[in-house]
Structure 1
């Protein structure tokens, strides 16, 4: 479980494809505190740490199934070396829940269709998959590449989110551009509300 508050920007050091995809990711986390089996959200994808080390930066390795690759934006780039990723360690008892509950299970891939600078902040217009549009509501929460964001406005399958300068600096959002594809996870509460409405 995660909160959608990014705590580091990692960098893909290398990838291998023996069967599934294996990626080594550099991080500023204290590797001594990252045990094997730990869960780390990488661009919103909950992945299990299979190895760690330092060379000279701290790094961890994860294995990603072919199904996960096909259902996320990993399939676009294959996470080529140099790719920067939003990272978040799993929520621990006593941690502040500053964003919203994020599972790390990506529901689909969205696309940036517009960007507008407004008083230093950036308004991003995002197009979601049609099947997920009904779960996205104004002032609701959504996770994009692991970042907890508030939906400002909705128009069909398109919606807007705002990123303040600080958020762009401490995440990969500062390098985003029109056409980029994003891992999207809908709000868990919205999922259950939709299910209840179907049952009633």
Structure 2
């Protein structure tokens, strides 16, 4: 379980690609001794399991496997050496819930439709797959590339979010461009509300 509050930026150092599995080494700023084997780390919003970890003189690193389902539903199939990733470690009991409840189970790949910069901030319009659009509401929450964001506006199959200067500095969002694909996780509460409404109708 995560909150969508990014705690670091990782960089893909190595990719070993198989037919249905990609093994990745990701450099990070987390102290290597604090990364537990078997731990969950959200990488651009996708919950991945640490299978190895270590450190060089420059940085720590951890390794994960992205299996067929992850490759099909997320942008992990496009990650390559040098790709920067938003990282978040799993919640511990007593941690502050600063964003919203995020599972790390990406629903789909969305696309950045447009970007507008103003006053140090950035407005991003996102095109969402039509079958998920009904789960996204104005002032609701959404996780994009693992970042907890508030929906500013929503209409048909697109919505917009506003990124403040702090978010642009501490995540990969400062490097995004129109046309980029991003990982989308809809709000868990919205999903259950829709399911309940469907059962009652």
Task: Give TM-score scaled by structure 1 length.
Answer: 0.97
1:96 equivalenced with 2:99 (yes/no) = no
**Per-residue displacement from partner, 1:102-137 (whole Å, max 9, x unpaired)?**
000000011001111232211000000001000000
1:62 is matched with which residue? 64
CA distance in 2 between counterparts of 1:7 and 1:100 reads 15
Distance 2:132 2:185 in 1: 9
Q: 2:135 maps to which residue? A: 135
Q: For 1:81-160, list aligned pairs within 5 A.
A: 81-160=81-160
What are the residue-to-residue correspondences of 1:37-56 with 2, within 5 Å?
37-56=38-57
Query: How far off is 1:17 after superposition?
Result: 2.1
**Structure 1: runs of 5+ lacking an equivalent:** none
Query: Please, what is the CA RMSD of the aligned residues?
Result: 0.8
2-side partners of 1:112 and 1:4: how far apart?
A: 19
Superposition pairs for residues 29-44 of structure 1, below 5 Å? Answer: 29-44=30-45
User: In structure 2, how many angstroms separate the alpha carbons of the residues matched to 1:120 and 1:23?
Assistant: 34
Distance 1:163 1:91 in 2: 23
Query: Does the Cα contact within 8 Å between 2:2 and 2:91 map onto a contact in 1?
Result: yes
Cα deviations by residue, 1:167-198 (Å, 9 ceiling, x for unpaired): 01100000000000100000000000000110
Question: Where do 5+ consecutive residues of structure 2 fail to align?
Answer: none
Aligned-residue offset at 1:66 = 1.7
Please name the residue that 1:13 is paired with.
13
SS of the counterpart of 1:96? coil
**Aligned mates of 2:26, 2:120 — CA distance in 1:** 31
Select which of 67, 70, 73 maps to 1:71.
73
Is contact 2:66-2:76 (8 Å) kept?
no
Moved more, 101-110 or 18-27: 18-27
Shift >6 Å, 4+ stretches: none
Tell me which moved more, 108-117 or 11-20: 11-20
Whole-Å Cα distance in 2 between the matches of residues 116 and 33 of structure 1? 39
Q: Shift of residue 18 of structure 1?
A: 4.3
